[in-house]
Structure 1
């Protein structure tokens, strides 16, 4: 029970005890007063009635005596008046046994008043004329007692309710700083450190608030320093300081992650040959300025794609990894890149070789070295080609399916709900299941296509919102059928940027509240690099668990974790796969895990392929894992 309730109940109980005590005293005093008043009234009535009857009894006037008795009986509240005429040996009796209607019967049955009566002998000199008996009726006493105590009880109850209301308002006001301290303690427990508590007026609480605010500030600063240190470690290993892009090691790791997912696409090498001329004629400063300008232009071009990798791999070359497979579109992209670089040259000389672009489509079985070699060969051909662009096409036909064909297949699958579902378990190192990640495939005849193959077409034709809503609907159906199942669904970048998607999703989930605790959303990291600031609020409004997928592909994301507050982060394969290298430095991966733990997020290693890799990961601060070691199961 909360302190607020304890104080409120204690004060109300004390007030109730005070009310009962005061009511009891008042009840007893009123009852005694009414009893004494009734006895006095009966005695006075016997005395006055005796004096009035004596003249009639002396003359034996029975009629006159009855008239006097009737007058007294009708004008008062008496149960019985009895006159015994001794000379005539007769009796005059008047009785009233009626009960007051205004008094409940149960109250009358309490017998709060004893019988009150008085008897006197009427004489004339030494002669006894008669015997007079008067018994009071308790009804008026019960009526007055009931009326008075009912009114008093009403006043007490009214005062009790008013006091209750005022006490609630007063305690809420007085205990508000304590409630804020409680909320801050819970926020700190959840690793939320940004909020400060206003200083209260209460002296005792003020010192506590100052201490908690100071502690929260220190924890927030510690978290920020850890995130910055992790970013420094990552930049030292993977950042090209001049351009602000990744370096060759970064590109190789991202390409390895890309290939592990068997995503189609191409590798492009952009040679900015004019950089050497600028260096010779204008010096390092001008060359570095041109390097940064080219990097900005390439980043702007790459952002149109859902996933990409961009790096500066040598003094004059940039490498791009893009989910584009159509030769015509790639050649147009190469020409656009050359034009964007040429536009940066001030006073260009006719015939000056500014840049060239060599591209190689990704084929099944290609490793990073062979892809870079093919792209480099294309680059050499591009330097002598009139359009300064060359493309090397793979041998297995990854890009043979055109975008329009993909569109037709996807439209048909969306209409017929023809996607194939499977799931891969995310496991803790002790064997407990965290959740299962839902995968979708597309079956066309005897061929089965993975999501990586058709997702570029989904993004190009703006089908992401329809696809995500359908997959979530299918996932909810599986959850309803299996109470033990917990699923994580990947969202596309298009859905994450759409307000209408979240409105439709909220409507879809409204009738399935019981399933929401077993549904999670995987959000690609690039969304948080480019998405609006309201995405976190939209996700929080859904009241679902959600996490960041491919975490670590982009720079400066660690510093955003504190504001985003995901429930889990799935660390990119580019980092978890490197633990098997003999010279692997786990400092960055450990820093990522510490930063995630500081906000209460679960860290998940992806693409774990062997028991040896799993054993090495278990020594780090990772909480769970998934990969080929945890096979995919059909749903």
Structure 2
């Protein structure tokens, strides 16, 4: 039953009960009143009639005179009975009227039974009693009075009840309309429609309720708009590389997969119905060297110069978007289909980018690999072909290579040979960078470098180790060499492990088996975990961290903020440090919005008792801004340079 019906039926029930109660009380009071009137009337009549007939009863009674006097009184119709008795209670005269009353319904007489009292009065002359007079008033008059009173009461109470019910109905309608409006607008709120209630009632409580609801709606609308803006902003972050303003790997993968599924095309289909294009992977071959020797600002300038050259070269292409796969690799999807034109284009692109060459770029400016893509090919096949072309380009002069269907599949064998050599000879070393809190050393991060095969960058080696199934062996090599040097380190050191190792239970068992027993040594070890790993492999990493913390090992979650969904896991994992994603801290002193975002992330971390680190700090202004936002620790070339670990 609806609230409106409940309220209406409730009010009617209360009104009915009240009406019946008042009616019964009123009728009872009226009945008592008329009964008292009947008794008083009979008593007065008996007294006056006794006085009138008293002379006629002296001596021998004058029956004729007495009869005349009694009839004169009785014939008025107000009496039920008049009886004159002698001193021996013998009836001298008796008059009676029927009790049936035509003007009052029988059911009413049965419902309100009126019994007029029989009043006695002695008839005397001086001190001598001559007889007794009994008078009983007729109830007809009383019934008529009571019936009239009942009709009046019914009219009054009925009219009042109708008016009250109508008024109550109006009030219930106002309440129900208000509640219905709130319900309707609440449903609209749940559907994302933020509409205020226009019809505001005048009733104070309802008015306050509606105004409060409207205020809440307006606040929710503002909050929803703000959330949408934040979602749009974070979506931009999710698909854009902040440092270069190019698309990131996620955006690239989505774009290429759509093209391969014919959901989006790059060029007009040729006559055979096939749609295809060219994918270029462009690697900044000297990026690692520039970063190690000159710092992040020089690295960023190098990157920006290359991106500007790529963008300018493809500005007139149908799809000029540039994507960043990782720190050193960029991708462009071109509309060139013809193999001959592809070779011409890759050489022109290489010469165009080579214009920014500097003496600091010891390994050259870029290397470019090209491969064809077309619908029907899988994403992995296209990526493997182009990546193999890039590997060949790194060993070519000039550093360009175009994949063709006739190329021998030798890249995989070549890379396996390189990776086997690194593992066999343990050709690994570390460079360190200090992380400071105020002027004190918090810990040192050790970066892996390979002293074998200098023609290939560290990122290139790691990428192929992952591709060819060598990653766990490389992680074990890193752990073994770090532990061998850990006892000689004056500070705590942090190493980076791959997501594959962090999620692998067999690696966990191996790790804890080779770990030194002494807590003096294990207290100096910190493991840095990529933020994406705690989102994708939460349970495995949670188990690994729980076992490691028993051995007094600490943890840092790096690139925090790149995956906002990771925030929900922080409370469960409770790492010791969070390292902010560099896109938030780069040029932070120039961007108010970035400062607000970083302050929010810092507050979240501090609320959980976690220290916050900002990396790639390259200027004093950047450092001062981060310190003002309560960032605990700083890392970057402004704080300390990279140093060789011996």
TM-score (norm 2): 0.45
Q: Report which of the two structures shows the higher radius of gyration computed on alpha carbons.
A: 2
TM-score using structure 1 length: 0.45
